Amino acid sequence: MLGIVMLFSMVFDISERLSEFIENKAELGDILFKYYLNFIVYYGNTFSSLIVFLSVIWFTAKMAQESEIIPILFSGKSFVRMLYPYFIASTILVIISFTMNHFILPLSNKTRLDFEEQFYRDRIFVENYHAEFPGQKIIYFKSYNSDENIVVDLRLEQWDKSKPKVFISAKTAVNEKGTKKWTLNNYFIRKIGAINDSIVTGAKLDTVLTFKVSDMAMRDNQVETMTYSELKHFIEVEKRKGNPEVPLFELKLHERSSLPFATYFLTLMGVSVSSRKKRGGIGINIAIGLLFVFIYIFTMQVTSVSAEKIGLHPVLAVWIPNILFGLLGYIMYRFAPK
């Protein structure tokens, strides 16, 4: 089932990206091993619980259609006993997925995202950025365009408790990639003293600041390259900076734990919905399963948007779909043939 889903995903992705691969002269080896190998690892693990759900429905419905479940129950084995192998296998898959999410996927994602950045990612464009960095540094800029690597209307304020110490502004600024070296154009620097202020202006100044442009302008999916401890530290730093994207980062962190555990609830639902022989055959079970998959994904999207836009706690946002489907799975289990 995983192979079928990933094959279709790759076909659709290739049809969308092929022209960019050719235009940017990407090598076949890089496409296969740096991109699509890690593409399969990422999306296969992300949707593993849903793929397990469809797989459980498939082979349980097959057993029901061939009247294999009825003899099991009539032999004296309980429905709960029949669930043992399902949940033993689910536990193994949950452990694998949990380990992948927190420790292995970040390394895989870094290779995949580096490839995307090189060959087909669109530019980064940020407007009206405002944040407070550690050390009471307040930073603002009007806009940033990654194609030109230019920060427009940069302003930096250094405070000492409640008193301003330094004010720096520049019409444009350029950061040397990967370093904290900056070139300020049409700059203005004011150092505020106890008695007198000093003001320096000029056309161009090469200097070193305590931050890089990547600390201010980054893609949301860069958090996917961070391990658990790195992401926790990153979220704390971004909270101090007042980054409005913090709820999204917290969602990504908690999803790493909630998505693997969804395997348990979806397995229970899969067995319950497909263990009864139906007139429509396996097809009707698959159709019901796909309906539940769409409802699950829709619920996840609703709660995620609620966390980002209206302040729903990220922990609740990622666990509400699991709780709802856990209750639904229990109800379906109660009505399953025993």
* Residues 325-335: tens digit of each pLDDT: 889 888 888 88
Q: Where are the alpha helices (DSSP H) in 126-245?
A: 228-241
Instruction: Let me know whether 253 and 177 are in one domain.
Output: no
Instruction: Let me know whether 155 and 191 are in one domain.
Output: yes
pLDDT of residue 94: 92
Instruction: Let me know whether 137 and 204 are in one domain.
Output: yes
Question: What would the pLDDT profile of 249-267 be if each residue is shown by its tens digit?
Answer: 888 888 888 889 889 988 9
User: Can you tell me the mean pLDDT for 172-198?
Assistant: 87
In a domain, 111, yes or no: no
User: Can you tell me the mean pLDDT for 141-152?
Assistant: 86
User: Can you tell me the mean pLDDT for 194-215?
Assistant: 85
Instruction: Let me know whether 326 and 251 are in one domain.
Output: yes
Contacts 24+ apart (CB under 8 A), 149-155: 149/174, 149/175, 149/177, 149/213, 150/174, 151/175, 151/213, 154/184
Domain boundary among 185, 202, 218: 218
In a domain, 275, yes or no: yes
| Separation between Cα atoms, residue 251 and residue 319, nearest integer Å | 10
Question: What would the pLDDT profile of 273-302 be if each residue is shown by its tens digit?
Answer: 888 777 767 777 778 878 888 888 888 888
Instruction: Let me know whether 96 and 131 are in one domain.
Output: no
Q: How many CA atoms lie within 13 A of 37 on its CB side?
A: 12
Domain boundary among 203, 218, 233: 218
| Count of structural domains, the chain | 2
Residue % of the chain over a pLDDT of 70: 97
- Measure the CA dihedral 171/172/175/176, to 10°: -120
pLDDT of residue 240: 79
Query: Which of these ranges, 22-26, 201-205, 241-245, 305-309, has the smallest mean pLDDT?
Result: 241-245
For residue 85, pLDDT over 90 is answered with: yes
Instruction: Let me know whether 250 and 179 are in one domain.
Output: no
pLDDT of residue 199: 86
In a domain, 120, yes or no: no
Instruction: Let me know whether 92 and 152 are in one domain.
Output: no
Instruction: Let me know whether 247 and 193 are in one domain.
Output: no
In a domain, 11, yes or no: no
CA distances from 188 to 103, 145, 160, 173, 200 (A): 46, 22, 20, 12, 6
DSSP string, 28-83: HHIIIIIIIHHHHHHHHHHTHHHHHHHHHHHHHHHHHHTT-HHHHHHTT--HHHHH
Query: Which of these ranges, 5-19, 26-40, 127-141, has the smallest mean pLDDT?
Result: 127-141
| Separation between Cα atoms, residue 70 and residue 72, nearest integer Å | 5
In a domain, 81, yes or no: yes
Q: How many CA atoms lie within 13 A of 36 on its CB side?
A: 19
Instruction: Let me know whether 268 and 186 are in one domain.
Output: no
Task: Categorize the per-residue pLDDT at 211 as very low, low, confident or very high, splitting at 50, 70 and 90.
Answer: confident
Residue % of the chain over a pLDDT of 90: 19
Instruction: Let me know whether 152 and 83 are in one domain.
Output: no
pLDDT of residue 286: 78
pLDDT of residue 203: 92
Domain boundary among 183, 218, 253: 218
What number of other Cβ atoms are within 10 A of residue 27's Cβ? 10
In a domain, 118, yes or no: no
Q: Is 257 helix (H, G, I), strand (E, B) or coil?
A: helix
CA distances from 256 to 38, 47, 237, 269, 271 (A): 17, 12, 20, 22, 25
Task: Categorize the per-residue pLDDT at 194 as very low, low, confident or very high, splitting at 50, 70 and 90.
Answer: low
In a domain, 172, yes or no: yes
For residue 74, pLDDT over 80 is answered with: yes
For residue 90, pLDDT over 90 is answered with: yes
Nearest C-alpha neighbor of 293 from the set 317, 255, 330, 328 = 328
Task: Name which residue leads in pLDDT, 135 or 115.
Answer: 115
Sign for the CA dihedral angle at 110, 294, 85, 83 comes to: positive
pLDDT of residue 223: 86
For residue 169, pLDDT over 70 is answered with: yes
Q: Structural domain of residue 287, as residue ranges?
A: 45-103+243-334
In a domain, 18, yes or no: no
DSSP string, 53-66: HHHHHHHHHHHHHT
Q: Is 165 helix (H, G, I), strand (E, B) or coil?
A: strand
Instruction: Let me know whether 211 and 254 are in one domain.
Output: no
pLDDT of residue 93: 92
> 310: Cβ–Cβ under 8 A, 6 or more apart, which residues?
none
Instruction: Let me know whether 134 and 214 are in one domain.
Output: yes
160, two tokens: 């000492």
